[in-house]
Amino acid sequence: MDFSNIFLQMFILFSLMIVGYLCNHYHILGKAENKMLSKLVMTVGVPGLIIASVKNGCPFDDRMELFYVLLVVSGVNMLLPPISIVINKILHVQEDSSLYKFMFIFPNAGFIGFPVISAIFGEGALIYAALFQLPHNVLMYTYGISLVNGGHRAKTSLKDFINPCIVAALIACVICLCDIKEPQMIWQSCTYLGNITTPLGMLIIGSSLADVDMKHVLDDLKVIPFIFLKLLLFPLIVYGIMHMFVTNEILVYVVTITLAMPVATNAVIMTNVYDGNVQLSSKTVFLTTVCSILSIPLLCMILTGF
């Protein structure tokens, strides 16, 4: 990894967040605009980015490796719920324990994860991130909803699991299996569409952070060790375990970096929908997002032994 490039990319992302924050402060962006732009990014930008990641054909030496990658990321996702229970016991969480589980399990893979992985490893690594999202999306709309819905059984339908990002990931899988490289004009179009993801995503996050009440950000002291566990310690443990059993180095790095992303903004959305602790979810998203600006480069330095 090129550390100067990692720090440069994180500085650029942080700069874009500041612009988004200022846009909110000067009433250029607000909740309505954030919602509209979020929909644009998740229905057009990220899908374009995912498909563009395989524009040069199958990135795997053996096409069947795609199924191996899917098996590994599915296994990682299955382990997240029981690990979240252990994390809660370590932190002695009693109130909002389900919300803490949700915030631990679900990282911000879309708005921040994809741009960061693309910046560090290149577009080709995004196929790994996209494959990680397939089982993760299923987990989100089953177990995730039950967590923020007071433990009640989640009412889901096929529509909940099918969104533009998942469709794009499935298309990318087909492209990999068939090793399709033409026509280039389609890949170029997807690249252009994908290029809106990073700037718009960071502007949205910056604008959203402007709405957080700074006076109450550190009211719950459990948030501090939670941030350390989520952004640094747990990803390092995952890396150590995967490094012993998984030979695909890029896969190990992508899964590790993805799990080290800030808390998903869906935590705020779902606590709003299901009358959860919106204040806790908002400030945790805020703090993990700000801390990730330093924790991601630090994690990369630790992973490669400086």
CA-to-CA dists, residue 240 to 75, 86, 88, 284, angstroms: 16, 18, 22, 26
HEC string for 48-77 = HHHHHCCCCCCCCCCCCHHHHHHHHHHHHH
The tens-digit pLDDT sequence of the chain (306 residues) is: 666 777 787 788 888 889 998 999 999 988 888 888 888 887 888 888 888 877 777 667 777 788 888 899 999 999 999 999 999 999 888 888 889 999 999 998 877 888 888 888 887 788 888 888 888 878 887 788 788 776 555 555 666 667 787 788 888 888 877 777 777 888 889 889 988 888 888 888 788 778 777 666 666 677 889 999 999 999 999 999 999 998 889 999 999 999 999 998 778 777 776 777 777 887 888 889 888 888 988 998 888 764
How many Cα atoms are found within 13 Å in the side-chain-facing hemisphere of 156? 18
Assigned token pair, 122: 């290149």
Closest CA to 37 of 20, 53, 52: 20
Domain 3-301 CATH (choose: 3.90.1150.10, 3.40.50.1390, 1.20.1530.20, 1.10.1040.50): 1.20.1530.20
Helix (H) or strand (E) holding 36: helix 31-40
In degrees rounded to 5, what are phi and psi of residue 179? 50, 50
Q: How far apart are CA 111 and CA 41, in angstroms?
A: 8
Neighbours of 228 (CB within 10 A): 12
SS3 of residue 125 by DSSP: helix
Q: Which two tokens mark 119?
A: 């910046």
> Cβ distance 298 to 18 under 8 Å?
no
Q: Please, are residues 282 and 262 in contact by the beta-carbon 8 Å criterion?
A: no
Greatest C-alpha distance within the chain? 55
Domain ranges in the chain are 3-301
> Whose structure tokens read 């590790």?
256
| 107 φ, ψ (degrees, to nearest 5) | -90, 165
List C-alpha distances in Å: 283 to 35, 113, 172, 221, 247. Answer: 19, 19, 35, 12, 38
**pLDDT tens sequence across 18-53:** 999 899 999 998 888 888 888 888 788 888 888 887
Distance CA 208, CA 289 (A): 11
**Residue from 228, 292, 291 nearest 257 by CA:** 292
